[in-house]
């Protein structure tokens, strides 16, 4: 599949590169690769390089680098990439999730007038709209295949994740009719084809499915997995959700408060080529290092 990027400026300080109008793992990989190569060039006047799901945003100081100049540098990198499949050296992280929990259910109830099916919880709505017999079947489907972080943002440290399954099997849900003004911290939620993991409490429009005990944005944290950065996730990280009970959630949340919670993190290589050849077997594309 050849993708031809479209270039546009956002005011006088941003270059926006739209890799593709629709989401695909290839578009994501291309955005990430352009971002990495741009970063490696250490260009004077470039202040932010933000890869996203299927696009890239670059912020620059036009007093230092002319808009046309940063555009042509980016186009040049972009031009060398067509057709290349990429391997990503990344992390494989297991995240415990208490699905169908009482807190996100109560929040959904509070905003019932902003939802498609006010009489169902968000996860019941998700199961029903995918013709599944039960919420348990939905939870199984959600946690069976891994997810890849394709964008970090919206608010500090919030990952957007794309499930490593064929497009025909992607879970797709509409966002709330009107966004909520509140979402519990560490909610796992879904909108469009993306899963998000709310790093902080706040507004949101994705359908809420569960809650994790593991913080992912914390300044001055005692948790060892924050030793490199106050932001845990990076684009390219691979996540697998492990469903847990309320009892285990409470135990792990307590560990998180005490600063002793550990996450299972492995270093892996993800082959985009292998995944594209057979998206129904994502585990074959992920190799532990």
**Residues binding another protein (CB under 8 A):** 8-14, 16, 18, 20-24, 35, 47-57, 59, 62-63, 67, 151-158, 160, 162, 167, 170, 172, 174-175, 191-194, 199-200, 202, 217, 219, 229-231, 233-234
**Cβ 80 to another protein, closest distance in Å?**
22
Distance set, CA 17 to CA 30, 39, 71, 287 (Å): 11, 15, 9, 31
Q: Edge-to-edge, what's the strand order for the sheet holding 6-10?
A: 6-10, 14-18, 55-60, 46-51
CB-nearer residue toward another protein: 48 or 287: 48
Based on DSSP, count helices (H) and strands (E) in the chain, helices before strands. Answer: 7, 13
Instruction: Work out how close the CB of 288 gets to another protein at its nearest, in angstroms, rounded to a whole number.
Output: 26
Q: Least distance (Å) from another protein to the CB of residue 162? A: 8
Please, which residue, 67 or 243, has the CB nearer to another protein?
67
Nearest-approach distance from CB 174 to another protein, in angstroms:
6
Q: How far is the CB of 9 from another protein (least distance, A)?
A: 6
Judged by beta carbon, residue 61 or residue 287, the one nearer another protein is 61
The answer to whether the beta carbons of residues 18 and 77 sit under 8 Å apart is no
Which residues fall within 8 angstroms of residue 112, CB to CB, at 6 or more apart?
A: 118
What does the alpha-carbon distance between residue 178 and residue 126 come to, in Å, rounded to a whole number?
Answer: 17
Looking at the chain, list the stretches that DSSP marks H as alpha helix, in order from N- to C-terminal side. 25-40, 67-79, 102-110, 122-129, 135-144, 246-258, 272-277
Question: Which CB, 192 or 243, lies closer to another protein?
Answer: 192
125 versus 217: smaller Cβ distance to another protein: 217
* Six token digits for residue 4: 């031809």
Of 99 and 162, which CB lies nearer to another protein in the complex structure?
162
Q: Residue 262 Cβ, how far from another protein at the closest point, in Å? A: 22
**Complex with another protein: residue 18 or 128, whichever CB lies closer:** 18
Residue 107 half-sphere exposure toward CB, CA atoms < 13 A: 28
Q: How far is the CB of 62 from another protein (least distance, A)?
A: 6
What is the Cα Rg of the chain in Å?
A: 20
6 three-class SS: strand
Interatomic CA distance for residues 220 and 35, integer angstroms? 28
């Amino acid at each position: 599949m050849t993708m031809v990027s479209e270039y546009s400026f956002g005011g006088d300080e941003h270059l926006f590169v739209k890799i593709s109008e629709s989401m695909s793992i290839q578009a994501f990989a291309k955005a990430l690769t352009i971002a990495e190569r741009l970063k490696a060039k250490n260009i004077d006047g470039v202040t932010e390089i933000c890869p996203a799901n299927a696009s890239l945003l670059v912020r620059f100081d036009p007093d230092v680098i002319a808009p046309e100049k940063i555009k042509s540098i980016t186009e040049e990198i972009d031009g060398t990439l067509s057709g290349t499949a990429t391997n990503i050296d990344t992390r494989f992280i297991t995240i415990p999730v208490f699905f169908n929990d009482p807190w996100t259910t109560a929040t959904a109830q509070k905003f019932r007038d902003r939802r498609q099916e006010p009489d169902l919880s968000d996860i019941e709505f998700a199961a029903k709209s995918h013709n599944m017999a039960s919420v348990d079947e939905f939870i199984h489907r959600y946690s069976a295949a891994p997810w890849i972080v394709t964008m970090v943002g919206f608010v500090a440290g919030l990952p957007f994740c794309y499930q490593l399954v064929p497009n025909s099997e992607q879970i797709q849900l509409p966002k709330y009719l009107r966004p909520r003004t509140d979402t519990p911290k560490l909610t796992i939620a879904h909108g469009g084809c993306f899963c998000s993991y709310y790093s902080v409490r706040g507004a949101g429009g994705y359908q809420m499915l569960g809650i994790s005990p593991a913080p992912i944005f914390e300044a001055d944290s005692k948790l060892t997995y924050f030793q490199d950065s106050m932001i845990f996730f990076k684009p390219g990280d691979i996540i697998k959700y492990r469903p847990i009970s309320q009892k285990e959630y409470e135990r792990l949340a307590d560990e998180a408060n005490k600063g002793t919670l550990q996450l299972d993190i492995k270093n892996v290589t993800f082959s985009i080529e292998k995944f594209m050849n057979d998206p129904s077997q994502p585990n074959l594309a992920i190799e532990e290092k």
